[in-house]
Amino acid sequence: MQIKIESKYLITDQDVKNEDLITFLNEGKEVPSTFNPEIKKIEFLVETPKGEKKYVSPNNTTKKYLIKAWGDETKNWIGKKAIVSLIMQNVKGEMKKVLYLNASDSQSKIDLNNAEEEGVIPESDF
């Protein structure tokens, strides 16, 4: 029997893997950040490759590239597909897999495997 961690949020390697496609199901909503309620984050409902509905809160780098591909009106993101990239990064002194998304229909995709060396992933995302 496989054990699964239950969560309303995407869990890397359990719900999504590298190169998976997820579909945006809503325009997102602003909610207080878990770590600092004074700061707002955007949560989107997405559909995983397994057909599950989960929430994801994109980091700043992901938001920049999705805005570049789809525009800044998130109502237009509904039904769009994004490609998952999971990258090991140092987050507050601990190596973790960080989720990045690329627009599947974008001509301006970044190579997330080399993003840190190319200076694409700013420190403000951590």
Report pLDDT for 121: 46
Report pLDDT for 114: 55
Report pLDDT for 106: 64
The ranges of the chain with pLDDT < 70 are: 106-126
Contact 85, 79 (CB under 8 A): no
Report pLDDT for 3: 85
* pTM exceeds 0.85 for this model: no
| Domain segments of the chain as ranges | 8-30+40-105
CA distances from 49 to 4, 25, 76 (A): 16, 13, 21
Report pLDDT for 126: 34
Report pLDDT for 95: 93
- Angle subtended at Cα 42 by Cα 41 and Cα 44, rounded to the nearest 5 degrees: 145
